[in-house]
Each structure stands twice: as structure tokens, then as C-alpha cells.
Amino acid sequence: MSISGAEITEIFSSVQGEGIFVGARQIFVRFKKCNMKCGFCDTPGDAAEKEYSATDLMKEVKKIDGSKGPHHSVSLTGGEPLLYSEFLSSFLPHLKKARFKSYLETNGTLPDSLEEVIDLIDIVAMDFKLPSSTGERAYWKEHQEFLKIAARKKVFVKSVVTTDTKKEDVEEAVRLIMMVNKSMPFIIQPVTPVKNCDKRPGENRLREFLDIALKNGVENSRVIPQMHKILGVR
């Protein structure tokens, strides 16, 4: 994939269903590729894509905003948008010139790519991929480097938790947040059932994870599920 284009599977208007901006009207731009395969992923990896240039994507964003706006921001989601960092370096100035806020939804594993575009980003919604939740390896070093860069802008951290999630992983996530900013919002997100698999943790387990965060100093911690799934919106 060259800087001239990016593989986009969807562009649409909806409300944000996760994190501290839940309920905000956004334009969603979904990038295709991802560098992870989380067990709870709800994004089809075989979705059809269309290649957009930065100019063509900006035209589509403006078209959607004109017909369904106004919008709080443009959510760059995926997949993993930072796999397209060169393209974003070209596209984001168009977004900023048109006075749209950029909202980067990212798995937080590509700090070098974030460094390339951080000055053009307004909001970072960063995942901490807990290894006991994802079934993948730990990314603590990458998350630490990523968070330090993201902290230059408005940022919050989100961790999906399941019945497999270990409290030690939550403790490590809390430790990394405390190293950067104890006031940073930390969202504990119970997994949404996918592929006929329900691994949602119960109330007591969610309370335990929240207590770990609060008692260790991350004062702006809360439990928020995927609200768009509950509401039945896209």
C-alpha cells in the first residue's frame, strides 16, 4: 500500500459507543488491516475494501457531514489506522484545514507510527491489550512508549476484560497509567459476546478490576460497556 491510498472498508455516521466520548456523533472511517488477532475482535477481517486517496476520502467525509452532521469528530478506526501512518500524514492536514477534530482509535502497539502523526491528532482512544484478554503476547513496552507520546494530546485508555482476564494484567495497566498521569481516564470495558462466545465477567469481577484501578491511584476509572451494541446502532 502506497502513501497515495488506503484500504477503507466503511465510512459512515453514527454515535460513539465506547469510552469517555460515548454518545457523541462521529463520522467513522474504518481502515482494513490490523497487526493483531484478538480473540474478542468484532470486526470482520474479510470485509470488502475500497482504496481512497486523501483527497477522495476528505470529499466523502465532507459529504457525510453535510447530509448527516454536525459531528463531534472523525473517528479513525479499524483494523489499526496507524498501519497507514504515511497516508494519515497526508490526510490529516486536510481534516484539520476543514476544521474537523480527529479521533484516533488504536491498539496502542505502534509508538513509532504514532510519533509520525501525533501533532495532527486531537484525541487518542488507546487500547491496552491485556494478554490474558486477547490471547496474544504482552505489549507492555510498546504501550508504555505509546502512552508517553499520546499524552501530548487528549487521551484515554481502554482495556477489554473477559472471564480470562488476570488481575495482574489490570495492575500492570494501572502501573503504566500512573507513570504518565494518574488523572488519565481508564475505561474497563466488559467484552461483548462474539462468535457465539460469551466471556463477559460478572459484577464481582468487574468491581474487583475497578477497585484495583481506584485503590492504586487512577482516580478517573470507570466501567463502560460497548453502548452501541446495547442500543443496536452501527
Q: How many domains does the chain have?
A: 1
pLDDT tens readout for residues 63-76: 999 999 899 999 99
Structural domain boundaries enclosing 159:
6-231
Residue 110 lies in a domain: yes
Distances (CA, A) of 40 to 70, 113, 134, 181: 32, 24, 7, 28
Main-chain phi, psi angles of 52, to 5 degrees: -115, 140
The verdict on residue 33 lying in a domain is yes
Q: What CA–CA distance (Å, rounded) separates 146 from 169?
A: 17
Residue 100, domain CATH: 3.20.20.70
Of 38-52, 126-140, 185-199, give the lowest mean pLDDT range: 38-52
- Answer whether residue 171 shows pLDDT above 90: yes
pLDDT digits (tens, 9 = 90+) for 85-104: 999 999 999 999 999 999 99
Tell me how far apart the alpha carbons of residues 76 and 32 are, in angstroms, rounded to a whole number.
11
Q: C-alpha cell of 9?
A: 472498508
pLDDT at 143: 98
* Cell of residue 102, nine digits: 480527529
* Position with higher pLDDT, 1 vs 121: 121
Contact 108, 141 (CB under 8 A): no
- By percentage, how much of the chain surpasses pLDDT 90? 85
Which of 105-121 are b and which e, b meaning 16 or more Cβ less than 10 Å from the residue's Cβ? bbbbbbbebbeebbebb
Please choose, from the candidates 234, 110, 128, the residue with its C-alpha nearest in 3D space to the C-alpha of residue 171: 128
In a domain, 83, yes or no: yes
Q: Band of the pLDDT at 45, cuts 50, 70, 90?
A: low
Q: Is the pLDDT of residue 40 over 90?
A: no
Question: How do residues 178-223 score in pLDDT, each as one tens digit?
Answer: 999 999 999 999 999 876 568 999 999 999 999 999 999 999 999 9
Taking phi first (over 0 means left), then psi (-120 to 50 degrees means alpha), and beta for anything else, what does residue 196 get? Answer: left
Q: Is residue 66 part of a domain?
A: yes
229 pLDDT more than 90 = no
Beta 6-15 vs 73-77: how paired, if at all? Answer: unpaired
